[in-house]
Structure 1
């Protein structure tokens, strides 16, 4: 075999190897985009490079795999459903307190599912692996809750916070995520019928908080 043929074979093999590597990278990228949805764009956009952002998402996956997550029992689900109903009732007389209670209830539910609680940003990162589709709801709810603490949130803002909290709340309970206006774009959310956390309450957007908007 002549040296020229050997060189050609080496070049061909290198091209094939590069194609395989690029194909595997593209496949992995697609998997991350499908899993994290809008969160993929957010993390990559905040990073210095796409590879750094993807590295962060893979690290989240590794941490998530170490959590001892558990499904809720029927009794626990019923308990949380009743607690949420009480939050809605509380909104009638005290919207600010209801939003604060909703935040505490969601945090408690996060912990019971087996996620560590503490730093808010860490909570977002941990939830993003399995609950990316409702993560923007949590961000919006938390932002309104923080504004409420300084008296900067109107009643309609507080009602929207409750709607956003409810979306993540339903997701953590194991129900289908609930679409709510004012959060993530419809294209980034699953196309599912609206469902209720309990059997006799209407959706939060049409529940007691709506009737008290000022």
Structure 2
């Protein structure tokens, strides 16, 4: 084999390797952008949970998409929607006198309405949460917070204000699940003047100071 032919072959091999590396970086960059857009704040939480290891966080999120991305949520029947909304409104009112019971009910309600929409059963919290994070990434942290508050509240380790904030955060996801993206009718009878279109941060549980249960 002549020296000229060897040089040509080396150049070809190097060119193939360079193109391959470029395409690989481009694919990784595309996946990075897609995951970050899809998961929003949940992407940043995953990175933090993996101590800043972006690659590990993206592998976890990509696995969630692979498992649950094709899930097609079912619509709720009107009567079913009204029943869930009524239970949530009752839980909000109950918070004033029994915050732990109200937060536990909110946790159950999110799990139940998610199950009714076709997400994994609430008895498998981690799997249900993963599926919800794929389809409701911007509000799924509310479910995490109310679930943790419920578990901590069982041991008396959660302050009333922390429970209130967790329930406020969970309401945004609840409204998305119940309303399927439409305007929600969730409101307490004691707060009819408050917005009921997903403005969960304006909701104050009631104007009276809540008591610990």
TM-score range, shorter chain: 0.7 to 0.9
Q: Which runs of 5+ in 1 are unaligned?
A: 178-194
- Counterpart pick for 1:139 among 135, 144, 154: 144
Which is worse superposed, 197-206 or 97-106? 197-206
Matching residue within 8, 11, 14 for 1:8: 11
CA offset at residue 136 of structure 1?
1.9
Q: Separation in 1 of the partners of 2:205 and 2:45?
A: 34
SS of residue paired to 1:213: coil
Instruction: Quote how far apart the aligned CAs of 1:151 are.
Output: 2.0
| Match in the other structure for 1:91 | 95
Contact 2:36 2:43 in 1 (8 A): yes
Determine if the alignment matches structure 1 residue 213 to structure 2 residue 210. Answer: yes
Extract unaligned runs of 5+ from structure 2.
Answer: none
Quick check: 2:110–2:143 contact (8 Å CA) kept in 1?
no
- Which of residues 84, 96, 103 in structure 2 aligns to 1:80? 84
106, 112, 134: which is aligned to 1:108? 112
RMSD across aligned positions (CA): 2.8
Shift in CA distance, 62/150, structure 1 to aligned 2, threshold 3 Å: same
> 1:173: which partner in 2?
178
2:39 is the alignment partner of 1:42: no
For 1:206 and 1:52, locate their aligned partners in 2 and report how far apart those are by CA, in whole Å: 37
Q: 1:210 to 1:159 in 2, by over 3 A?
A: farther
CA distance in 2, matches of 1:97, 1:6: 73
Q: Contact between 2:142 and 2:167, CA under 8 Å: does it hold in 1?
A: no
The TM-score with structure 2 as length reference comes to 0.77
Superposition TM-score, scaled by structure 1 size: 0.77
Structure of higher CA gyration radius:
2
Count how many residue pairs are aligned between Structure 1 and Structure 2: 197
CA distance in 1, matches of 2:56, 2:204: 43
